Each structure stands twice: as structure tokens, then as C-alpha cells.
Structure 1
Amino acid sequence: MSFRGEQHPGVKTPTADSMGFRLNHTMLRVKDPEKSLAFYTGVFGMRVLRRLDFEELGFSLYFLAKLEEGEPVPEDAQERTVWTFRQTGLLELTHNWGTEAQDEFAYHDGNAEPQGFGHICFSVPDLEAAEAWFDASRVTFVKRSDQGRMKDVVFVKDVDGYWIEVVQADRLGALGS
């Protein structure tokens, strides 16, 4: 029997109407795309799959992914756009033009009151090595793996203050109840 998901109050059985649906991306608004792109490509090793500019609306979208080495990506821009929207687990950075020049401008990180959005998460093969890399890269920590009640879970901030959870999957088998 194939796994059909855990059952909890409110869970409904998917119907044929949602067959083929997949979560493509999560979007974060960023103040300065140059700084955000440097962070996500330099610290987390993501690659920009596609940039889409909307001149009449004054914003740009940057779609990033953590690709496997040698993973084929279409060269043609239109084909790559279609391919991008068929992927899973992408990060979309949205830049509203002009915010980078506004000194006091900042987006709500979702963790300050009133809370809403919480974080994105990366899984890493070696949590201690990742923490050392974050230190070397001068990344701001919210929580290290040996702090707080949840051990083996790290939280860092990106350049806009958004929280990023970092975990090592094989350490989390006994997590929760």
C-alpha cells in the first residue's frame, strides 16, 4: 500500500481535480536584489534559473534553485521559463524597484508581531560544517544547533531579516511525538 499522508482532523482525501498540482515556489520580497542574490547564491549555493522583469509594474522576479550538479536546464529563455514553472522547491525573490535606495525601508519578516510567515528551510548533509560555513560567511544566527529546547535545528537570517531553518535530516527521526 502506498503512503497516502497522515490523517488528522480537517484532512480531506485529494480528488482527481487536484491531480498534477505541485508546490512550485515560495516568494520573498527583497529590498536589494544584488545583496539577496549574493546571499542565496554565495551562502546557500543556489542558482538563478530565471529573471523576469515587469517594467510597466516596476518589479522583477528572480527564481532560484539548488540544482544537482549536471542537472539539465534549457538554454532558451522561453523554454527555461516553462521549465522553471514545472519545478518544485524554488525560491522566488521579488524586487519592487526603488526599495534598494530607501534607507529606512524594510519588509516585515513574519516573526515580529504580529506573527505570520515564519521561515523557509534548507536540509544540509552536515549541520556542524554548515554552522562553520555560516560563521565564515558572517551570517546572522537566530539560534545555533546547541541552543534552545530544539537541538539539532539552526535558524539564521538572510539580508532582509527572513528566517531560514537549517536541518540535517538524519538527526530528526525522533522529532516531535
Structure 2
Amino acid sequence: MSFKGEHHPGVQTPTAESAGFRFNHTMLRVKDPETSLAFYTRVFGMVVLRRLDFEEMQFSLYFLARLGEGDAVPDETGERTVWTFSQTGLLELTHNWSTEDQPDFAYHDGNAEPQGFGHICFSVPDLEAAEAWFDENGVEFVKRSDQGKMKDVAFVKDVDGYWIEVVQADRMA
């Protein structure tokens, strides 16, 4: 592979010390793991690879992935934990215990003021079919792919209000 990345002001050549570093996951805090897990497993077809509980600090972590047909996930818990932390592109849902029992509890989605975190993104094989699937499942749209200035890009919200960008790769060229 000869491509070494685009060059822009501020870009530096990776050093030997970072060889082997891989992006593993993005974390979102969720109010109620049951509703969040239902959303990500049903609507986006993800599976839970591993759940880690931290009783003393009263929180749980759920690591989710969209597996490919050739992915061989170990059955044994320790091996699966190591496998999970060696993957790329995972979603970690963090649940601070008892937030689901607080009616007015909500996390900042990063898109309201003050802005910060923006969204995660899924690539789908057929954008219109995905939008129809979201409609069938009552998913809230921020923007459909035929709306606004950015055509061929949809944005939906998960159950905690986090934005999810949805793209069809071959339309992005």
C-alpha cells in the first residue's frame, strides 16, 4: 500500500513509536442500557461482544460491533475480551447505574450549545432502504438524504438523542 494519507497543514509523519496503534472504539453514555441495546442491535444489527461491570464505581460498559461473515469471535470470555480490544470501529455504551430511574435525566448530545461531540456514522449498502427501515422502526430523523444542502447523507437520532450519520459509500465520491 503506497497511500500514506492526505497532506494538510499540521499533519506530521507517524513515528515508529506509534506503530501498531489502532483506533478501537468510541464511547457514548446511555441513560437506559435496555433501550439503547435494543436500538443498536435491532436497528443497526450490532451484537454485544462484551459487558464489563464495575460494581465499586457503579457503571457498566457494553462493547458492540457490526460483525462480518468471516469474523470469528472467541466463545471463552477472556479470549473474547482480548479479541474485543484488538478490533477497530467498536461502539462502547457506558451506563452509570440508576440513571434509567431518573425521569428527567439526559446526557448532552454534543450538538446543542455548547457544541462538542457531533455524531457517529454508519455506512449502509442502500440509503433509501435504510431510511425505510428507520421509518418502520420509528427512528427519529434529524435530516433525510434528500433534504438540505448535503444530499445523500442522512442523520438520525438514537434513544439518547445522539446523532448518527448514515451514508452509502459509493455516493460519497
- Partner residue in 2 for 1:154: 154
Q: Any idea what the Cα deviations from partners look like across 1:44-76, whole Å, max 9, x if unmatched?
A: 000000000000110000000000135210001
Equivalent residue letter for 2:139:
V
Q: Any idea what the Cα deviations from partners look like across 1:14-67, whole Å, max 9, x if unmatched?
A: 000000001000000000000000000000000000000000110000000000
3-state SS, counterpart of residue 147 of structure 2: coil
Aligned-residue identity in percent: 82
- Give 1:158-173 correspondences, 5 Å limit: 158-173=158-173
Q: Which runs of 4+ in 1 moved over 2 A?
A: none
What is the aligned residue count? 173
- Give 1:25-36 correspondences, 5 Å limit: 25-36=25-36
Separation (CA, whole Å) in 2 of partners of 1:12 and 1:156: 34
Query: Which sits farther off after the overlay, 115-124 or 1-10?
Result: 1-10
Runs of 5+ consecutive residues of structure 1 not aligned to the other structure = none
Separation (CA, whole Å) in 2 of partners of 1:3 and 1:53: 41
- 2:22 is equivalent to residue 22 of structure 1: yes
With normalisation by structure 2, the TM-score equals: 0.99
- Give 1:83-162 correspondences, 5 Å limit: 83-162=83-162
Separation (CA, whole Å) in 1 of partners of 2:67 and 2:143: 27
Runs of 5+ consecutive residues of structure 2 not aligned to the other structure = none
3-state SS, counterpart of residue 80 of structure 2: helix
Q: Any idea what the Cα deviations from partners look like across 1:110-154, whole Å, max 9, x if unmatched?
A: 000000000000000000000000000000000000000000000
With normalisation by structure 1, the TM-score equals: 0.97
Equivalent residue letter for 2:81:
T
Separation (CA, whole Å) in 1 of partners of 2:70 and 2:21: 26
